[in-house]
Amino acid sequence: MLPELHSILNLLEGGFGQIKVLVVGDIMLDRYILGEVERISPEAPVPVLRHAQRYERPGGAANVAMNLAGLGCQSFLAGFWGEDGEKEELLALLDKAGVDSVGVVSSSLPTISKTRIMGRQQQLLRLDIESRDPYPTVEVERLIERTVQMAGKVHAVILSDYAKGALTTALCERVIAAARAAGVLVLADPKTPDFSKYTGATTVCPNLNELSAATKIASHRTDEMLVMAQELIAEHDIQFLTVTMSEKGIRVIGPGAERYHSPARAREVFDVSGAGDTVIATLAASMAGGLHIHTAVELANVAAGIVVGKVGTVPIAQHELIAVLTSSSGLSSGEKVLDFERAQRRVAEWRASGETIVFTNGCFDLLHVGHITLLEDCRRFGSKLVLGLNTDQSVSRLKGPTRPIIGENERARVMSALAAVDAVVLFDEETPLELIRALKPNVLVKGGDYTIETVVGHEDVIAAGGRVEIVPTVEGFSTTNIVKKMVATT
């Protein structure tokens, strides 16, 4: 279980929407052409790719901005693109994701693009389109002016450096100074061995090879390199370094002997491209959201572990993180008790991740074996079980003024502690119809002598393409019988 899990979920389920992050750097368009290779060309000893699919994704600094948007942040992008078709493709993708490109300057140079030609997920060729000429001075000054104005109006700034010319030393110095004056976090993803360009940043986030180049120590001599890294912190007025170490995870290096290590969390690695973008975006959002750096690193590791399991440059999405973090085994009982609005958001995120949502409801006053059997039966019908729980007032209206025996808060905590239950939502009405309509479960389950037609909410669930299941009750077990037995023995 991650530290500060409650705070993490609060951010993922709405809190990130208040966080503004500016990404400044080298903007690119990643294009993928996929197909099948079945023969070698008779014209030259090269494979012939039979085209099957083509798609485009924002790359470089634009991918960092996409990751921030995927987390739910207000994402702002600054950099250069040309007046060409690639710009139009990028703009459409960014607009669709909700990324604000107000800081991007139109350049006389072409938009940087990388076209990957792939056969059966194997990259055969990469075609890069970019100019080796520096950006004209007037364009650079325009970018500096825009980014300096924006730097003090956000919660964090990311310098996404791909060594393509957007992040000049002058721009970095002025943006970092403006951000620091406003108390804004600055995170830098370096592509140069000279970290002086990022002097004054909150953190610089190199990978092992980049840190090796900066320290002039071979990457396999990890311990020596990390010791030398601490000198870079002092030399360049950096609060700490965040080093991505591939399968070894992420290491935070602070002043003196301060270090923190987060092991890698990848389940299966298909493609590491874009993983660094995901890490720095998640770090920036998490730190801006008030999480401790150690917690931010752990969350970034989880996010990176998700994206490397995909092919191509793919940003992280809220629902993917929520699905991983809200597995029943990883949540405390308190994290499963949700109010109406938060239950809606969490169920929506689960559904976006492909989970099958099961719903049942009841008073569950004095938990007994019949309840346990019902819930275990419910869980067999899907991957997430949401339990609608009658409030005290609702129970009293249904069962009489002497009930419930156990208060709603205690009942909710007891029910949420069960492994079969993924979420508990209290409802005050006599029936859970409003809750069912809001959550739109895939499967609605009731126990006992019900028929499908007598189950509250069956019409809504079936109309939405779901189904209703009736499971048998365990004979001889009920709260009413338990109460009668207790009274009889007193």
Q: What angle do CA 228, 167, 318 make, to 5 degrees?
A: 85
Most confident of 149-158, 308-317, 414-423: 149-158
**Residue 63 counted as an annotated binding residue:** no
Query: Do the domain assignments include residue 19?
Result: yes
In a domain, 117, yes or no: no
| Domain finish residue from 287, 304, 329 | 329
DSSP classification of residue 3: T
**The predicted structure's pLDDT at residue 37:** 93
Q: Identify the CATH number of the domain in which residue 297 sits.
A: 3.40.1190.20
Question: Is 390 marked as a binding-site residue?
Answer: no
| Whether 339 and 254 share a structural domain | no
Statement to judge: residues 318 and 201 lie in one domain: yes
Residue with tokens 């479960």: 441
The answer to whether residues 294 and 315 belong to one domain is yes
> Do 252 and 338 belong together in one domain?
no
CATH number of the domain within which 474 lies? 3.40.50.620
**Given the residues 277, 377, 392, 422, the one annotated as active site:** 277
Q: Are residues 338 and 307 in the same domain?
A: no
Range of the domain at 21: 5-28+58-109+133-329
Structure confidence at residue 472 as a pLDDT band (50, 70, 90): confident
Summarize the confidence of residues 304-329 as an average pLDDT. Answer: 83
Tell me, yes or no, whether 421 and 470 share the same domain. yes
Residues 369 and 309 placed together within one structural domain of the fold: no
Residue 176 lies in a domain: yes
Burial tier of 14 (Cβ tally within 10 Å: 0-12, 13-18, 19+): middle
Q: How many domains does the chain have?
A: 2
Residue among 318, 237, 315, 270 nearest 23 (CA): 315
* Domain assignment of residue 96, yes or no: yes
From CA 264, how far away is CA 302, in angstroms rounded? 8
Tell me: do 273 and 395 sit in the same domain.
Answer: no
Q: pLDDT tens across 15-60, in order?
A: 999 999 999 999 999 999 999 998 999 999 999 999 999 999 999 9
Any catalytic annotation for residue 449?
no
CA–CA dist 144, 161 (Å, integer):
15
Ramachandran bin of 112, using left for φ above 0, alpha for ψ from -120 to 50, beta for the remaining angles: beta
| Residue where a domain stops, chosen among 310, 329, 348 | 329
| Statement to judge: residues 289 and 377 lie in one domain | no
209 is in an annotated binding site: yes
Query: Where a domain ends, among 329, 351, 384?
Result: 329
Residue 487 pLDDT > 60: no
Residues 398 and 292 in one domain: no
- Looking at the fold, whether 322 and 433 belong to one and the same domain comes out as no
The whole model's pTM is what? Answer: 0.83
Asked, for residue 121, whether it belongs to a domain, the answer is no
pLDDT of residue 482: 58
Average pLDDT over residues 323-352: 86
On whether both 348 and 303 belong to a single domain, the answer is no
